[in-house]
Amino acid sequence: MGGSNREPETMISAGIDIGTSTTKLIISRFSLMNVAGTTHVPKIEIVDKEVLYKSPIFRTPLTNPSTINVVEIEKIVRSEYAKAGIVASQIATGAVIITGETATKQNASEMLHYLSGEVGDFLVATAGPDLEGIIAAKGSGAYDYSSRSGKVIANIDIGGGTANIAVYKDKVLLGTCTLHIGGRLIEFHEGKVNSISPPVQKLLTEQNVLLHVGDNPESRNIKFVIDFMAESLGRILKNDVQEKDEVLLLGHHPNWHEKIDTLVFSGGISECMYNHEPDKGQKSNYDDIGVQLAKALQRNEALQSYSWLEPVETVRATVLGAGTQTTEISGATIQVASDELPLKNIPVYNYAFGENLQTGLENFEIAVKNAIDIYDAAREGQNFALYISELPYMGFRDIQKLAAAIIQVMEQRPDPDQPIVLILQTDHAKVLGQTLIAMQVRQSVICIDQITVEHGDYMDIGRALESGVVPVVVKTLTFHSS
């Protein structure tokens, strides 16, 4: 798709969200087109995203309280593919994500990577709570609204086990935070308390409040827990974390610094507020505190002090974001060894030249050694992508100097035969990649540009498309524990 070819190329994306309470799937089609003029360097962009199929909302199958039923998950996915009229080999990108308390199950990581290989060429398989919040904000509409409004928007995605907060302004992520707040943290069966999650049990202990399995669902101590969750969320949003709130934090403290203007709630608890789904009975008969929690959030004075915006999607926000918002497209003038793709879960090390090639080259070797120490401390052969930023203007001799330095330093890796993976901030990928090949570098070369990454990110690079570009997903890959 170069030069004068203006016909769009399409690819199929899938999103699968396996949450504490529910599992759902979405199939989308992306249209890619060269948006540059006929006399310019091709610039391929996603110009349209169309949702082709939304699955029903399934109860997440477990074999026991600590193990996901992988066989049943795979059955659901394959059955929904058939209903959508697609096969796994058509999936070019997308995400399998596991969210909330389900991410703490014993086989969570294994299941994700199994699915990402068995039911499609997925570029993301992750359970990171920060990434969950980011994806949900894009699926709910909060991300787009932050640009249109100029306001600081907090998207709060609350499902069965966690509340994932992502704060945006003008589509820039200001911070994230995850809390043990969710509908299934206390469950009922046959008119009695059936289960109390460990975080809630710890909260009860710290607050000297008694609640036991077998107690009445109308117990005032359940109301205490629900109201505490709402009040704690109000404090967290104001960055006023008190000692008593620590029990609900999952990971780091809130890390945004600007005052929040508007709240958007998504997730299953949001569905209890807005009733977007046509099948009302399916989601309300879960015998848990979800409906009560939604009402507590709606009546909480601290939360009501913000403006509220109704989401575009409620319970489907995360899966919509996963299926439509995770993929970027590389530059069109790149150099990739197609037989090495796809690459998954490649950590990114950022090395900035500071606009001075000579000074940058003098410290290049030390930088690569640091990358090895960070990502392959045990010297087991974990590869990494080198993000080269702040390059000065370079002539061809400068490109040759840089290529020679890359060849030399990449030999220091514990497994130097692995592909050399480079991401360039500037539009030099093709010329640098071709220079490396002309200099008879012995490794395969994957050199791309027009992708924004940060130090510590992970990235997946998909198979090259007909247009010569590659789909890329940049992510933070984290599995959390209970």
- Please, what are the averages of pLDDT over each run of 10 residues along the chain (482 residues)? 61 86 89 72 80 92 85 92 91 79 75 74 64 87 91 95 93 90 93 94 96 93 97 97 95 93 96 81 67 97 97 88 78 88 87 91 91 85 91 93 95 93 91 95 94 80 87 62 38
The residues with which 350 forms a beta bridge, in sequence order, are 387
pLDDT at 321: 79
DSSP letter at 288?
B
pTM, to two decimals: 0.76
Count the residues in the chain. Answer: 482
pLDDT at 127: 54
Q: Is 57 helix (H, G, I), strand (E, B) or coil?
A: coil
| CA diameter of the chain | 78
CB 130 within 8 A of CB 304: no
* Full DSSP string of 202-215: HHHHHTT----TT-
pLDDT at 281: 43
Sheet strands side by side (includes 307-308)? 172-179, 163-169, 152-158, 262-266, 307-308
pLDDT at 1: 43
Among 360, 331, 355, CA closest to 430: 331
pLDDT at 452: 82
**Residue partners of 160: CB distance under 8 A and separation at least 6:** 19, 20, 21, 22, 100, 101, 182, 183, 184, 185, 268, 288, 290
Among 136, 60, 141, 169, CA closest to 323: 136
